[in-house]
């Protein structure tokens, strides 16, 4: 079964790489001009074969980078989610190009992989590619003419998009009794328009409420992190550092971010619950 899966991954990746090879061989100016026409990863991930494409790419690229350690399945999933999310504005062509440039020594400095092909390593290469592409586009006076001609989104349209996002998140809660990520931007918007109130010196009850939410967030995260069975040694150490920081109240940016993010979720759940009890069909 595993061999069949690897064959499937290999096939989709090899077929795609063969398809884009002529583009990868273009000179710098022509390649960068073409980047505006490439289908982005956020579009490719709608295809059912996106998982095979990325896992095939990860397996082959890891080998080409002379990384001997196999990629754990959890790490593969993390890579898929990252490339379909944070780096989704890049194209598959740019993804392959970036790592070819790293292998061929085009970038000023090589990035040490420490025998680990993971999100951190991939992101470092893609950041170098992004900086290189931005610099070269400026030097060669390359811009997206179609993008420039497109009308800008109006403030009313932005408002409607955000309202739809808030309603969708509320409808999700009504169906599942939970809120999936991302949700921080929903919390931020509801605070900015005054629907969710933040604590001040003049609102001691709210201060107590938010303090309790922080405490509850810590308790939830401690339980989850203690129960996490992370197979990757690097990631396991990272999670342990976060767990220790939460337990001991030690300064740790990752821990702080996780606590604040979880507290926002808990506040949103309380807020949505109140609206649900009052049988609100919409929030705004």
Beta bridge partners of 91: 40
Count of domains observed in the chain: 2
Per-residue pLDDT at 140 exceeds 70: yes
Q: Are residues 61 and 115 in the same domain?
A: yes
Range of the domain at 9: 2-149
d(CA 56, CA 45): 14
pLDDT higher than 60, residue 176? yes
Contact 8, 52 (CB under 8 A): yes
Please, are residues 252 and 241 in contact by the beta-carbon 8 Å criterion? Answer: yes
Is the domain of 46 the same as that of 144? yes
In a domain, 282, yes or no: no
pLDDT at position 192 over 80? yes
In-domain check, residue 284: no
Query: What is the model's pLDDT at position 265?
Result: 93
- Indicate if 218 and 234 belong to the same structural domain: yes
pLDDT band per the 50, 70, 90 thresholds, residue 4 = very low
Taking the C-alpha atoms of residue 177 and residue 171, their distance in angstroms, rounded to an integer, is 10
pTM over 0.85: no
pLDDT of 250 strictly over 70: yes
């Amino acid at each position: 079964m595993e061999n069949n899966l690897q064959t499937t991954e290999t096939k989709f990746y090899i077929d795609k790489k063969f398809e884009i090879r002529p583009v990868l061989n273009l000179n710098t100016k022509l390649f960068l001009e073409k980047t505006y026409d490439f289908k982005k990863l956020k579009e490719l991930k709608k295809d059912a074969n996106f998982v095979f494409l990325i896992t095939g790419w990860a397996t082959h690229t890891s080998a080409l980078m002379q990384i001997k350690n196999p990629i754990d399945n959890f790490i593969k999933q993390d890579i898929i989610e990252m490339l379909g999310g944070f780096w989704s504005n890049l194209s598959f062509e740019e993804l392959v190009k970036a790592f070819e440039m790293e292998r061929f020594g085009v970038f000023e400095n090589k990035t040490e992989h420490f025998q680990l092909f993971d999100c951190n390593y991939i992101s470092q290469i893609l950041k170098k590619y992004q900086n290189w592409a931005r610099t070269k586009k400026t030097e060669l006076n390359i811009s997206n003419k179609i993008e420039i001609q497109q009308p800008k989104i109006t403030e009313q349209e932005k408002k409607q998009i955000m309202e739809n996002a808030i309603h969708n998140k509320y409808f999700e809660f009504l169906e599942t009794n939970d809120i999936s990520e991302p949700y921080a931007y929903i919390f931020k918007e509801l605070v900015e328009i005054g629907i969710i109130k933040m604590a001040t010196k003049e609102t001691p009850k709210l201060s107590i409420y938010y303090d309790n939410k922080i405490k509850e967030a810590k308790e939830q995260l401690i339980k989850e992190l203690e129960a996490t069975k992370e197979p990757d040694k690097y990631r396991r150490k990272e999670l342990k550092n976060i767990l220790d920081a939460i337990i001991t109240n030690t300064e740790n940016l990752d821990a702080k971010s996780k606590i604040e993010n979880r507290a926002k979720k808990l506040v949103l759940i309380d807020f949505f619950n109140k609206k649900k009890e009052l049988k609100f069909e919409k929030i705004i």
